[in-house]
Copies of this chain bind each other. A is one copy, B any other.
Amino acid sequence: MENFDMHCCNEKFRMTDEQVETLRKQIAVYTYISEQLIQRHTHSSSRQHLTNGARMRMFCDSRLIDKLSSKQRWKPTISQVQALEKIYAANPEAPNKETIKKITVDLSEHGKISESNVYNWFQNRRARSKKKKHSNVDAKSKVDSKDKIPKLNESDENLGHQNSPENSDFLPYFNLELDESFAIL
């Protein structure tokens, strides 16, 4: 937990992260209110909006405040995810700083992204891949050993999918030639 020094009214305070965050949100709301006031001042002749403090409440709708005061979390685009998955598949190890920088620059083409986004993504990707592996270990081997689902044609051109980073164990078969006698009773 790091702290911040803040100067206010000739006094110095040490603020916790939490306090800084509260402050940030507070400022976000002030910013919005100020913009609204300017807009009203410009477009409207009803000046009471500028002087009646109580009216400020109208800006305090909880959803609006949610929007204003919530830190947006990064939402990767489809193509970004695809690119990241590809990189991960090629080398699932943690990329070094230089690599991260490069990836970030490259993926900026497809949308907003930062280095820490990339870093976090790889951290999470590895962690969750590992967790999934562990939770599947017993089930997987069990299935492998006695799987009696009649397999649909598994041609060479489909094998690539078995190594795809996602769902490789769920969807190994993509061939279209269904057996007509196939049925679940």
Contacts and interface: CB of A to CB of B under 8 A. Distances in A.
Nearest to A78: B63
A173 B60 CA distance: 11
Q: How large is the interface on A (under 10, 10 to 19, 20 to 34, 35 or more residues)?
A: 35 or more
Nearest to A139: B18
Copies per assembly: 2
Contact of A60 (B5, B171, B185): B171
Interface string A158-170: 1011001111001
7 contacts: A15-B149, A20-B184, A29-B174, A33-B176, A60-B174, A61-B82, A65-B167
7 shortest A-B CB distances, which residue pairs? A62-B166, A13-B148, A8-B150, A19-B149, A56-B174, A7-B185, A6-B184
